[in-house]
Amino acid sequence: MYNEKVMEAFKNPQNVGEVENYDGLGKVGNAACGDIMQITIKVENDVITDAKFKTFGCAAAIATSSTATQMVIGMTLDEALKLTNKQVVEYLEGLPPQKLHCSVLAEEAIKAAIEDYRNKKAGIHAKDKEPEYV
Amino acid sequence: MKEIYLDHAATTRLDERVLQKMLPYFTETYGNANSQHAFGRAAQKAVDEARDKIATLIGAKPNEVYFTSGGTESDNWALRGTCNSLKNKGRHVIMTKIEHAAMLSTAKELEKDGFEFTFVGVDKEGFVDLEELEKAIRKDTILICCMYANNEIGTIEPIEEVVKIAKDHGVLCFTDAVQAMGAIDIDVKKLNVDMMSFSAHKFNGPKGVGALYIKTGVPVARLISGGHQERTRRGGTTNVPGVVGFAEALKLTKETLGKDVEYVRSLRDRFIQRVTAEIPFARLNGPKDGNKRLPNNADFSFEYIEGESILFSLDLAGIAVSSGSACSSGSLEPSHVLLAIGVPEETAHGSIRFTFGKENTVEEVDYTVEKLKETVQRLRSMSPLYEGKE
């Protein structure tokens, strides 16, 4: 059901863990639905210099988390905000239809991490937000 | 790479001896069992012998055994056929919450046709609540359905008691014995059940063939209209090699049942004992008492991780298992069986079913435990839910 690229990303995921002293954290999903994605980022001069993930989820969720972190490292925040789930899927050369929501979660986790960073920078203390329901 | 098959509840390997019995019926004795000429009569003879053999092995009369395409058709037939034939008597049916999808999906469709269903709960090990079941019986109840043993968590239901309750109230009783046949010595007469479904590929027989036992006199309308096959109750050309293989597989299974069950149970017990001792936050689903669950079944929830990713990690190591996770089925809902026994949704997502067979070895069990430990550890190290739990 998964192509080789997805299985490879699942087998050898990149950027697993949490960025030390991260600048932004995005956590989306819901354990009851079987997916939670957490992405942390390091930002220097509006550029994402590091990104890591932790994911509770299926093989596709792990593969898309890994891919999304790989894609955004080196991007400016504005570029990263434009990252779409479609691009993540294209990078992985396709996902089964019932797994597309995993790529949506990856996109949302990146956006949430950037939002968290910008809120912090603007002095808005990130509330202990419940993960979003998707 | 290793190839370790631990999904015997899904299907089993065809026994070589069964295959040899079947082969002549593809190429030599290939007649239609319904034809009147010599080709047909030879095929009919094989079908009759297969039916006699199966009937003897399960304690039925030959004319109470109806061949079908397998467990799903038999389940559909028993339920829909009874509803159709008794709809003027009543429109209420009782079944457990943990029936197979073949029953639950059919029930959903029948609800649209005006039938009412009461789904009876189970306790935390999956045993049907007999009191609730008896209380659910109404004047218009026409059928009680309770599976013999559960396909996911292996619970062996107190089926004798369910039948007794049904009989006490004059209600028909059906049991889905698809998982039980091959693991338990079943005698339909002793059990006094009205209908029972079977599937050959669960006990080293061929796929695509099964049976519905219908006790003499039980009115079940036919599901598949056609010719005069199966005493006009089930149309369609008889799968001659299939029924020959079915009978042979059942015969072989019964011959070595005690020995095989003991061996498979020992593998299963070793596995449960090691996983429980060596993997933290692993919860065994289904009965703790090994004698009250199918001898081949071990079902575990591994907390903080998701089942599909466990399944594919083991698959990469050459180990075949199945998962109760939503992600494996394509829906967002985890297994209805695990939810019915009270497993929280997020834990249910991390469930894996291991079902052993007589072809498995102790070495395979140990290798699986090692790979499972690595997998669970690796996935937990990636899980945001596991932080601080180490």
Q: Which residues of B touch A33 (CB under 8 A)?
A: 326, 332, 345
Number of domains in chain A: 1
> Would the CB atoms of B308 and A11 count as touching at under 8 Å?
no
Tell me the per-residue pLDDT of A101-127, one tens digit each, with 9 for 90 and over: 899 999 999 999 999 999 999 886 655
Judge whether residue A128 has pLDDT over 60.
Answer: no
- Picking from A37, A58, A103 by the largest number of B CB atoms within 10 A of its own CB, the best residue to mutate is A58
> Would the CB atoms of B312 and A2 count as touching at under 8 Å?
yes
Residue B344: Cβ within 10 Å count: 14
Domain carrying residue B119: 16-255
In this prediction the ipTM stands at 0.90
In chain B, what's the furthest Cα-to-Cα distance? 76
Residues B135 and B205 in one domain: yes
Find the mean pLDDT for residues A52-64.
96
pLDDT of residue B63: 97
Residues B240 and B310 in one domain: no
Confidence of residue A130 (pLDDT cuts 50, 70, 90): low
pLDDT of residue A30: 87
Q: Which helix H or strand E contains B77, and what residues bound it?
A: helix B71-86
> Would the CB atoms of B382 and A61 count as touching at under 8 Å?
no
> Would the CB atoms of A7 and B346 count as touching at under 8 Å?
no
Tell me the per-residue pLDDT of B158-178, one tens digit each, with 9 for 90 and over: 999 999 999 999 999 999 999
Last residue of a domain, one of B255, B278, B311: B255
> If phi over 0 gives left and psi between -120 and 50 gives alpha, with beta otherwise, what is residue A93?
left
The verdict on residue A82 lying in a domain is yes
The verdict on residue B2 lying in a domain is no
Kindly give the residue spans of alpha helices, DSSP state H, lying in B23-142.
24-27, 38-58, 71-86, 101-112, 130-136
pLDDT of residue B250: 98
- Picking from A3, A52, A56, A66 by the largest number of B CB atoms within 10 A of its own CB, the best residue to mutate is A56
Last residue of a domain, one of B231, B255, B279: B255
Residues B65 and B213 in one domain: yes
> Tokens 């063939």 belong to which residue?
B209
pLDDT of residue B134: 98
How many angstroms separate the first and last alpha carbons of chain B? Answer: 32
Which residues in chain B come in under a pLDDT of 70? 325-332
Q: Which residues of A touch B330 (CB under 8 A)?
A: 98
Residues B217 and B290 in one domain: no
CATH of the domain at A81: 3.90.1010.10
Number of domains in chain B: 2
The number of residues making up chain B comes to 390
pLDDT of residue A127: 53
